[in-house]
């Protein structure tokens, strides 16, 4: 007799089906769990980097405020205790508006509400970031600076605000990770309900405003460039950034070109670089962007709002009077006893004539001379001004300034030894010809033209600037540590991330 085992077979199929479904469900659940952990871990890691980016953005805003003295959205506050900055963002934020750079008894605060960004969902990391920033003197006095200027401390705390669980899992490794990157702890934000990592950067800013010509070209209005020339930089004080040519140290060498030939333009409406190469950055203000910036090798940014001081005529009470026309010799004095000369009218060095700027005969270095020309300063044709290598000269000129051909020979080949101040308005500065002009020009009311096949080596402040032909402009970076009082900037002295918080230590 044959047995019928159909019912037993049906039972086996049902059992197998249940087991298969159970196994597949476990596999799916495990995969989803692992994927969820990985996604959460990825989001946490991304937010950790985003908080650093937020902190760096806060530093950028503080540097801009220092350089432009624009403290819009900043608040003025007293230290919570002594000269110690707050460890958490003050809440509520101070209400007094910061009117300028803080003194030794106060700090300026940029609230996180003024430095925040929201990302569009979905986001791999945080949905929003913010930073709160303080600027103070850091207990540093002006006596610590060689130019008796104030240094500043910037502290910026960035936070990436995340959603979802504060941890990827409950295991020990995740606890360590959570404590290490402070995803659970909102350490430095007034809003305790916000979850996410915080990172703090501290920067010490060194002033180079009083130490001089912080950029090569500073203009109250526009720049127009054309021809085969370019703008770049070198450093006459550094043998790695300049060369010895014909036995003279610190000469421009294209093979050692530097990329700090920065241009600052206060009115971009008529500014046109015509795709000229600029090995440096361009900053501008105005309603329109600078035209044809294709070959700018640095950054292009806005706004550019420095304070350009007006140049005034001297008020000397004691000086040697020099007849207008074509003088022959002007002798310098010692550094602690300079020579002062005044020319009432025009000083013209015409073809075949030479004006010698000599030392006092002692051969001492660092000799000083000041010359005040109430009219025009002009060299023409083969006329030439020869300045001794151990002499530093400062010119004050009330009229047009014209140097052409090889007409001004700064024998030291050091730009800081020659300063021409133009105190007139609606006047012109013209540098033309095939020779190099080595010096600085501070003439904010002048329209400047650099043309020909020669180069301008140094720095310039004028109203407008036209560079044409084969003329090039080479900024001498050594001027940034010179003795000039021209428009400047702040630079980094140190930059580090502050990790000194016990909440971030791994607890075992």
- What is the DSSP pairing of strand 401-404 with strand 427-432? parallel
Lowest mean pLDDT segment, chosen from 97-111, 225-239, 326-340, 459-473: 326-340
357 and 414: one domain? yes
What pLDDT sits at residue 181?
45
230 and 194: one domain? no
401 and 479: one domain? yes
**Residues in contact with 40: Cβ distance below 8 Å, sequence separation at least 6, in sequence order:** 164, 165, 167, 168
365 and 480: one domain? yes
Token couple for 414: 């050091």
What pLDDT sits at residue 36?
61
269 and 388: one domain? yes
Mean pLDDT of 310-326: 85
166 and 227: one domain? no
Structural domains in the chain (count): 2
Confidence class for position 43, pLDDT limits 50, 70, 90: low
pLDDT beyond 50 at 506? no
261 and 397: one domain? yes
Which residue do the tokens 């001498």 mark? 476
Asked, for residue 11, whether it belongs to a domain, the answer is: no
Higher pLDDT, 328 or 148: 328
**Which residues constitute the domain of residue 99?**
39-208+493-504
Confidence class for position 485, pLDDT limits 50, 70, 90: very low
265 and 198: one domain? no
Asked, for residue 7, whether it belongs to a domain, the answer is: no
Q: What is the pTM of this model?
A: 0.59
203 and 318: one domain? no
What pLDDT sits at residue 185?
45
264 and 397: one domain? yes
The answer to whether residues 154 and 203 touch, using CB atoms and an 8 Å cutoff, is yes
DSSP class of residue 334?
Answer: B
Asked, for residue 24, whether it belongs to a domain, the answer is: no
The answer to whether residues 483 and 210 touch, using CB atoms and an 8 Å cutoff, is no
Asked, for residue 26, whether it belongs to a domain, the answer is: no
Asked, for residue 4, whether it belongs to a domain, the answer is: no
Q: What is the mean pLDDT of the chain?
A: 80
The answer to whether residues 357 and 328 touch, using CB atoms and an 8 Å cutoff, is no
318 and 249: one domain? yes
195 and 262: one domain? no
Which residue do the tokens 């958490």 mark? 88
Mean pLDDT of 36-61: 76
């Amino acid at each position: 007799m044959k047995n019928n085992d159909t019912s037993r077979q049906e039972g086996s199929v049902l059992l197998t089906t249940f087991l298969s479904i159970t196994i597949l469900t476990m596999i799916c659940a495990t995969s989803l769990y692992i994927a969820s952990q990985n996604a959460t871990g990825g989001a946490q890691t991304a937010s950790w980097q985003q908080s650093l980016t937020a902190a760096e953005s806060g530093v950028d805003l503080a540097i801009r405020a220092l350089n432009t003295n624009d403290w819009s959205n900043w608040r003025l506050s007293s230290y919570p205790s002594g000269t110690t900055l707050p460890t958490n963002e003050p809440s509520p934020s101070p209400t007094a508006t910061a009117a300028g750079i803080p003194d030794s008894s106060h700090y300026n605060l940029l609230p996180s509400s003024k430095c925040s960004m929201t990302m569009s969902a979905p986001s791999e990391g945080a949905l929003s970031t913010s930073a709160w920033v303080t600027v103070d003197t850091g207990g540093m006095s002006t006596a610590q600076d060689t130019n008796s200027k104030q240094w500043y401390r910037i502290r910026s705390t960035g936070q990436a605000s995340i959603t979802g669980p504060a941890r990827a899992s409950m295991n020990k490794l995740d606890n360590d990770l959570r404590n290490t990157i402070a995803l659970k702890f909102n350490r430095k934000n007034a809003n305790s309900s916000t979850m996410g990592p915080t990172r703090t950067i501290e920067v010490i800013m060194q002033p180079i405003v009083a130490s001089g010509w912080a950029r090569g070209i500073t203009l109250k209005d526009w720049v127009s460039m054309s021809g085969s020339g370019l703008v770049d930089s070198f450093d006459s004080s550094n043998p790695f950034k300049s060369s010895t040519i014909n036995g003279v140290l610190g000469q421009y060498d294209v093979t050692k070109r530097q990329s700090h030939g920065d241009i600052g333009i206060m009115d971009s409406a008529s500014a046109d670089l015509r795709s000229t190469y600029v090995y440096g950055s361009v900053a501008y203000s105005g309603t329109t962007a600078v035209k044809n910036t294709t070959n700018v090798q640095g950054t292009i940014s806005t706004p550019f709002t420095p304070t350009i001081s007006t140049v005034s005529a001297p008020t000397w009470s004691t000086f040697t009077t020099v007849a207008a026309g074509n003088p022959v010799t002007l002798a310098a004095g010692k550094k602690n006893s300079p020579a002062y000369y005044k020319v009432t009218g025009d000083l013209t060095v015409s073809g075949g004539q030479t004006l010698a700027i000599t030392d006092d005969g002692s051969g001492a270095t660092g000799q000083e001379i000041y010359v005040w020309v109430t009219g025009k300063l002009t060299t023409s044709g083969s006329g030439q001004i020869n300045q001794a290598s151990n002499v530093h000269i400062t010119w004050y000129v009330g009229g047009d300034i014209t140097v052409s051909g090889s007409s001004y020979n700064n024998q030291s080949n050091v730009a800081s030894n020659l300063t021409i101040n133009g105190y007139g308005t609606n006047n012109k500065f013209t540098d033309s010809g095939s020779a190099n002009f080595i010096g600085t020009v501070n003439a904010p009311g002048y329209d400047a033209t650099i043309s020909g096949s020669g180069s301008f080596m140094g720095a310039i402040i004028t109203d407008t600037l036209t560079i044409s032909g084969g003329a090039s402009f080479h900024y001498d970076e050594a001027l940034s540590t010179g003795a000039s009082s021209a428009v400047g900037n702040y630079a980094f002295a140190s930059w580090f991330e502050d990790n000194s918080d016990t909440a971030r230590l791994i607890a075992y």
